[in-house]
């Protein structure tokens, strides 16, 4: 075990173009009224000398494929854009970036077609306890914190000397191997790691035609504080289709923008007013079933 860790760390030091990738199994209960429904998603924590990035593997793959398809359509843009839903689009849409050495932490989240970069203004305050436990192949020690409106119990491993962890958690004398909130609604457990080649930092931003926005793609993030994001989120909950209506009104040639959706009985509708009513209904139903967020303080 120790030889494996030493080799792993040596590769990290010698190979500057490599990233330490940690795989976390994320289990969560979206609906507090239906605790039997537990979702599972593979999350990745990529660590290099500059910082870390925590995101959904399925969403990353799905977005990468969709971006390639969208770029092909934009090269021969004729007024219509078709974005197909991927088979495994990923459930967890947010991403967390931490910048070393100060651990400046940013949460990236979408609201409709807008992307937000939310700077974290608080750091986890840990209480390290003497309890020890073996989790998988790792010898871990216990710590607790109150963060984001939840009480958390973490297990960290000093054999992996990264003061980091999944989501916004960091600051322990070793990598967080497992962390779970007191209600058992959110659990992140390390299940493996490997080194991967670092992605190019010269990737060009996707440029969309004027006034056109695609959910989760293109455009710069809107940097906001947590309080500002709360206001935007509240407005979205009250009027989920406002963003799309504004986009249609700004477009001088409505033939370039059209919306089509299928109702629950399979009927396709394209009339804008009907589409917006259907989307608003769906969004509110989805929000009602996703009432148990990882960070309640951010959306309540």
Q: What is the pLDDT of residues 7-45, one digit of tens each?
A: 445 444 444 578 999 999 999 999 999 999 999 999 999
The pLDDT confidence band at residue 86, using thresholds 50, 70 and 90, is very low
Place of tokens 């990745």: 44
Higher pLDDT, 191 or 10: 191
In a domain, 281, yes or no: no
Per-residue pLDDT band for 155 (boundaries 50, 70, 90) equals very high
Alpha carbon separation from 19 to 9, 11, 50, 102 (Å, rounded): 11, 10, 10, 19
Q: What is the mean pLDDT of the chain?
A: 81
Q: In the predicted model, is pLDDT for residue 208 greater than 70?
A: no
What number is the average pLDDT over the span 176-189?
98
Q: Is residue 64 part of a domain?
A: yes
Q: Where is pLDDT greater, at 167 or 201?
A: 167
What interhelical angle do 226-238 and 242-250 show, nearest 10? 90
- The average pLDDT across 44-60 equals 93
273-292 mean pLDDT: 84
The total of other beta-carbon atoms located within 10 Å of residue 278's CB is 19
Give whole-number Cα distances, 264 to 89, 99, 166, 278, 282, in Å: 20, 44, 36, 10, 10
**What mean pLDDT is predicted for residues 131-160?**
97
Checking if the pLDDT of 136 tops 60, the result is yes
Residue 103 has pLDDT above 70, yes or no: yes
pLDDT > 60? residue 90:
yes
CATH number of the domain within which 48 lies = 2.50.20
- Percentage of the chain surpassing pLDDT 90? 55
> Residue 239 — very low, low, confident or very high, per pLDDT cuts 50/70/90?
confident
Q: What is the bridge-based pairing of β-strands 138-147 and 175-181?
A: unpaired
Tell whether 262 is covered by a domain.
no
Mean pLDDT, residues 180-202 taken together = 87
Q: Is residue 284 part of a domain?
A: no
Does residue 261 lie within any of the structural domains?
A: no
Q: Which domain holds residue 98?
A: 2-222
Rounded to whole angstroms, how far apart are CA atoms 212 and 254? 11
Q: In what order do the strands lie in the sheet with 222-224?
A: 127-135, 138-147, 150-157, 175-181, 186-197, 18-28, 39-47, 51-56, 95-99, 104-111, 114-119, 222-224
Does residue 87 carry a pLDDT above 80?
no
In the predicted structure, residue 244 carries a pLDDT above the cut 90: no
Q: Does residue 188 lie within any of the structural domains?
A: yes
Kindly tell me if the per-residue pLDDT of 130 is higher than 70: yes
State what percent of residues in the chain have pLDDT above 70: 69
Residue 58 in any domain: the answer is yes
Distance of alpha carbon 28 from alpha carbon 94, whole angstroms: 14
* Lowest mean pLDDT, pick from 97-111, 168-182, 208-222, 225-239: 208-222
Q: How many domains does the structure of the chain reveal?
A: 1
What's the whole-number mean pLDDT along residues 234-253?
Answer: 75
| Segment 280-294 mean pLDDT | 90
DSSP the chain: -HHHHHHHHHHHHH-TTEEEEEEEEEEE-S-TT-TT--EEEEEEEEE-SSEEEEEEHHHHHHHHHHHHHHHHHHHT--S----PPPSS--S---EEEEETTTTEEEEEEEETTEEEEEE-------EEEEEEEEETTEEEEEEEEEETTEEEEEEEETTS-----STT---SSSEEEEEEETTSSEEEEEEEEEEEEPPPTTPPPPPPPTT--BTTBSS--EEE-HHHHHHHHHHHHH-TTHHHHHHHHH-S-GGG----EE-TTS-EE--HHHHHHHHHHHHHHHHHH----S-HHHH-
Range ranked top by mean pLDDT from 51-65, 75-89, 168-182: 168-182
Confidence of residue 281 (pLDDT cuts 50, 70, 90): confident
Whether the pTM exceeds 0.75: the reply is yes
Lowest mean pLDDT of 141-145, 170-174, 233-237, name the range: 233-237
Instruction: Examine residue 178 and state whether it is found in any structural domain, yes or no.
Output: yes
Which pairing describes strands 222-224 and 114-119: parallel, antiparallel, or unpaired?
parallel
* Cβ neighbours of residue 15 closer than 8 Å, sequence gap 6 or more: 195
């Amino acid at each position: 075990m120790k030889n494996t860790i030493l080799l792993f760390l040596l590769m990290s030091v010698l190979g500057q173009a490599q990233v330490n990738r940690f795989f976390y199994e994320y289990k969560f209960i979206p609906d507090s009224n239906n605790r039997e429904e537990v979702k599972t998603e593979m999350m990745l924590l990529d660590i290099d000398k500059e910082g870390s990035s925590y995101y959904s593997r399925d969403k990353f793959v799905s977005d990468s494929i969709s971006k390639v398809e969208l770029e092909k359509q934009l090269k021969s843009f004729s007024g219509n854009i078709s974005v197909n839903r991927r088979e495994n689009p990923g459930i967890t849409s947010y991403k967390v970036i931490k910048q070393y050495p100060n651990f400046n932490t940013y949460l990236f989240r979408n609201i409709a077609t807008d992307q937000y970069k939310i700077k974290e203004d608080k750091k986890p305050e840990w209480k390290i306890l003497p309890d020890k436990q073996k989790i998988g192949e790792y010898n871990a020690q216990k710590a607790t914190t109150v963060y984001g409106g939840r009480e958390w119990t973490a297990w960290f491993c000093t054999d992996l000397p990264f003061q980091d962890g999944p989501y916004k958690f960091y600051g322990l004398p070793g990598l967080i191997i497992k962390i779970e909130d007191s209600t058992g609604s959110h659990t992140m457990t390390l299940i493996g790691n490997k080194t991967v080649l670092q992605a190019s930092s010269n990737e060009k931003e996707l440029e969309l035609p004027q006034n056109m926005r695609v959910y989760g793609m293109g455009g710069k993030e809107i940097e906001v504080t947590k309080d500002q994001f709360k206001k935007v989120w509240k407005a979205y909950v009250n009027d989920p289709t406002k963003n799309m209506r504004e986009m249609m009104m700004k477009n001088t040639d409505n033939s370039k923008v059209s919306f089509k959706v299928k109702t629950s009985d399979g009927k396709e509708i394209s009339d804008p007013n009907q589409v917006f009513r259907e989307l608003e209904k769906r969004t509110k139903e989805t929000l009602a079933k996703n009432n148990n967020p990882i960070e309640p303080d951010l959306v309540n």
